[in-house]
Amino acid sequence: MKRRIPLMLAAAVLMSSCFIRKQDAQMQDPYPFIPPTQLIEAAEPAIPEYSKRTPATGETHFKALYQLSYGGDNAEAYWSPDGKRLTFQRSDAAHGIPCDRIFSAPWEQLTDSNYLPELVSTGLGRTTCSYFMPDGKHILYASTHEGGHTCPPVPGSTGAYVWPVYSSYDIYIADLKGNITRQLTKEPGYDAEATVSPDGKHIVFTSDRSGDLELWIMDTAGQNLKQLTNGLGYDGGAFFSPDGKKLVFRSSRPKTDEEIARYKELLSKGQVEPTRMELYTVNIDGSDLQQITSLGKANWAPFFHPSGKKIIFSSNHKSQRGYDFQLYMINTDGTGLEQITYESIFNAFPMFSPDGKYLVFSSNRNNGGTRATNIFVAEWQD
């Protein structure tokens, strides 16, 4: 589930209007092999100088930094298994993208501000949380398009910041041409936030099918479902550890009677309040649940360091006014907290490339004073 603070709304991107992709409902293979001749492989481009950015003082883990998008609202960029491509979501109402839609492209092509990435989702409804399948030629994502062709309404102002939990979200697999090859969930209610295990055997996702927002796991054919978490509260945004044995996720976990009543009231309206979240880990069989952070405020968008011994995440726990989200890293036992980014008031959705050489993340930095959120890739050094 892509979640961002309200200040990150659309600005200009160079993008033509979205168009509808066809669904092939007859295909039996969950994500059939596509011969390379059917795909357009981009030539290795030279990275333009204007895409290079200087890391801020204190960003010592960034050996180099590159900007990959230029305006609009771009987020949740995740690597292909070979580390050559990214899948991400983008919105920009001024340029024909009224709400989040899924795109994909070779990451080095994206450094060219004139390059237009290909649309992977249908161009209908709202989408979230795309992730590459193990073959690198199919993408997993959630979409509301079967519940309506227009973008679903966002919650009205209630005096508090809330995230919508759309009951029309279901999880799909599409090829890089945008053809849906399989629908993985069909249950009534919210099914989204899906990611894939490193060995390609499992998919974890968030669902309210049991009456609360819990983590569930299934195989890549959408079978053998199992509920992993059971505590009251929103459990979501899960990712697998490099060895595929553990998950890291964010959770709201209300404690007091007032917090519990508030959580249940919002959930009944299809909403959650994300202002207080901590990070947890759990084994993929649901055992050994561990709380990793106790920082207060919103700690979210976690991802394992390639070593499997640390977790990188976004947090505003140091902020005095709520909107200063920086990236931090912490040991899996909750020790050794380290700040990673120091620029702009929003940095989130970090993901290491499969070889550990790069970190992709979204940030408000270098947006010319607009509300644009762009994608950046940092050459990582431990």
pLDDT in tens, 246-283: 999 999 999 999 999 999 999 999 999 999 999 999 99
Within-domain flag for 26: no
Report pLDDT for 380. 98
Q: Which pLDDT does position 22 carry in this prediction?
A: 36
Spatial distance between the Cα atoms of 299 and 319, rounded to a whole number of angstroms: 12
98 contacts 51 by C-beta, under 8 angstroms: no
Residue 345 CA to residue 324 CA, distance in Å, equals: 4
d(C-alpha 129, C-alpha 143), whole Å: 9
For the record, the structure tokens of 376 come out as 């950046």
Nearest to 267 by CA among 277, 254, 255, 278: 254
Closest to 82 in 3D by CA, of 303, 349, 306, 355: 355
Please report whether residue 16 resides in a domain: no
Percent helix, strand and coil across the chain, each rounded to 5? 5, 40, 55
Rounded Cα distance, 27 and 245, in Å: 31
**pLDDT classification of 44: cutoffs 50, 70, 90:** low
Per-residue model confidence (pLDDT) at position 157: 62
**Any domain includes 57:** yes
Q: How far apart are CA 338 and CA 30, in angstroms?
A: 41
Mean pLDDT of 321-344: 95
Burial 126-156 (b: 16+ CB within 10 A, else e): bbbbbbbbeebbbbbbbbbbbbeeebbeeee
- Report the alpha-carbon distance of residue 253 to residue 227 in Å, rounded: 17
How many CB atoms sit inside 10 A of residue 57's CB?
8
Q: Give the CATH number of the domain where residue 74 resides.
A: 2.120.10.30
Residue 204: inside a domain, yes or no? yes
Range of the domain at 138: 47-380
Q: Does pLDDT of 41 surpass 80?
A: no
- Identify whether 34 is part of a domain: no
What is the reported pTM? 0.88
Checking if the pLDDT of 24 tops 90, the result is no
Burial class (CB in 10 A: 0-12, 13-18, 19+), 19: exposed
Q: What is the mean pLDDT of the chain?
A: 89
**Residue 13, class by beta-carbon neighbours within 10 Å (0-12 exposed, 13-18 middle, 19+ buried)?**
buried
Residue 27 has pLDDT above 90, yes or no: no
Phi-psi category of residue 371: left, alpha or beta, with phi > 0 → left and psi -120 to 50 → alpha: alpha
Task: Judge whether 7 lies within some domain.
Answer: no
Q: Is residue 24 part of a domain?
A: no
Whether 352 is in a domain gets the answer yes
Among 97, 79, 140, 115, which Cα is nearest to 361's? 79
Helix (H) or strand (E) holding 257: helix 257-268
Domain total in the chain: 1
Coil, strand or helix at 1 = coil
